[in-house]
Amino acid sequence: MNKVSAPLLDVRNLSVEIASTTIVDRLCLQLQRGAVHGLAGESGSGKSMTALAVMGLLPDSASATGSVLLGGHDLMSSDDAGMCDIRGRRMGMIFQEPMTALNPLMTIGDQVAETVRIHTSTGHDESRAIAASRLDRVGITADRAGLGRFPHELSGGQRQRVMIAQAIALQPALLIADEPTTALDVTTQASILELLCGLAEEEAMAMLLITHDLAVLARHAARISVMESGRIVEEAESEALFRNRTHGYTRTLISSATHQPAKVARSQDAKSLLTVEQVSVGYRKSGASLFTDNATRTIVKDVSLSVATGESVALVGESGCGKSTLARAILGLEPLLGGSVTLDGHQISQSGGLPESAQRAVRGAMQVVFQDPFGSFNPRHSVARLVAEPFHALPHTPRGRDLGDAVADALLSVGLQIEDGTKFIHEFSGGQRQRIAIARALVTRPKLIILDEAVSALDVSIRAQVLDLLAELRAKHNLSYLFITHDLAVVRAIADRVVVMKEGRFVETGPTDQVLDHPSAGYTRELVAASPEIPPEWLA
């Protein structure tokens, strides 16, 4: 009979309260060495608060009870000094947004070396050597990035690798990764997750992988706990959890993760609404003078695309490939180096620019929805005023009752109430904020909406609702969408046609099913292979 090894992390009856409100309720969790344990659930379920309680990083207003045993030692009995010694040395944590977690005034080499110096007696040179080896271990080599670079000089994936190097600098026994890849493109996400899981196995670390992306957990976690309202409602081996789905909340999550909105019928002979012809976009290089040869760096290189009336087109590719730059050029927010953009027969952008009056005449026919609705709204303005903002870009702005009616219609069309117009943006959930962003885009009755990563940060159930809403609005108003995303599951759900972009150029285009199921370009095959999905046989 095999003897079961004792868990490295043993959480027993952990409860966390803030202002008499229970956030985590009698949670029990066990993690084994060398294994990846997934913690799934929607925003507000208590996932991150559980991680902070284990790390001893709860806010002052929070109180915790129960026990958290790390290698048999109860962390709940340790004082601040004791926890400071344990954090970094015996356990590390990777946060969702590296740019806010890293010190912008310190080089990446110094930040990793600082962890070593705090917990050991090593000197400056030795700690820098250890930092270099750990950065090299996560793929940030001295010849490619250099220890002397600052966080803002690195890409999102590189910054996440620096955080991993910092967390594993002293080979901790426990690693907590809280949504470590939410905002990364699929290839970078895949490489980061493969790195983390490889480190857990090779260095016998126990890893708690916290995410709302069930496809990621299906691919990487050996065991999964599902959390709802502060409690773990189901826990099982990964395959068994997806096959059995014994709890209603688990079934809801999995259904939302695999949800496909109703298909929108459209005319196959619809005329072209948006036409992008041989567009190039670039920036003047830093420090370049007017007389310098090759002073401009070209980001988008001679691309052409069209979007028909009522059509939904997805633009996919890795971060930095030029997707958002192209979107800004279409919106008239970036000057063109060459080519032209035409909307509904009216030229709205060309090399050398167009008069403001020419742009204003058709600006109401095109709107945009951004990834972060909270960051794109002024928090001091009411929702009604925020939704009415696009009218200021039009030649003729409705006034009085007409303006109020337009705002009310926009709010009602996205499932909100007229009374919501008197509230402020901080009073709404993430999904409601994205609905308000869509209402703002709809208020001028546009023909084309550009959605830039509009659902990538949403929980699976909220994402399903927003995708259903977009499909409904498209069918009702014959809208056209240009959907910019790195999530191929979203592309399958929302797009009739997909355009694949790499290094400023289009490498493949065609019907969504054809491109994703039978990709012809090598880069498209890489994207499809890197995109996580729940094995279909697990969902039978």
Residue 306's closest CA among 333, 330, 322?
330
**For position 171, what pLDDT does the model report?**
84
For domain 272-531, the CATH superfamily is P-loop containing nucleotide triphosphate hydrolases (3.40.50.300)
Distance CA 435, CA 426 (A): 14
**For position 1, what pLDDT does the model report?**
42
Q: Which amino acid is at 261?
A: P
Assess whether the region 25-57+77-254 and the region 272-531 belong to the same CATH fold.
Answer: yes
Q: How far is CA 49 from CA 14, 56, 185, 428, in A?
A: 11, 10, 26, 21
**For position 525, what pLDDT does the model report?**
94
Distance CA 481, CA 439 (A): 15
Q: How far is CA 340 from CA 165, 211, 266, 335, in A?
A: 45, 42, 27, 10
Residue 377's closest CA among 323, 456, 449, 430?
430
324 token code pair: 């958002």
Residues of the chain under the 70 pLDDT cut: 1-4, 142-145, 183, 284-295, 351-361
**For position 353, what pLDDT does the model report?**
60
Check: CB of residue 283 under 8 Å from CB of residue 293.
Answer: no
Check: CB of residue 454 under 8 Å from CB of residue 434.
Answer: yes
Distance CA 262, CA 471 (A): 7
What residue ranges do the domains of the chain occupy?
A: 25-57+77-254, 272-531
**For position 528, what pLDDT does the model report?**
92
**For position 321, what pLDDT does the model report?**
85
Class of domain 25-57+77-254: alpha beta
**For position 419, what pLDDT does the model report?**
92
- Per residue in 287-339, pLDDT tens? 555 555 555 778 899 999 999 999 999 999 887 788 888 998 998 888 889 99
Residues whose CB falls within 8 Å of the CB of residue 23, separated by 6 or more in sequence, listed in order: 16, 17, 46, 49, 62, 230
- Per residue in 279-297, pLDDT tens? 999 876 655 555 555 557 7
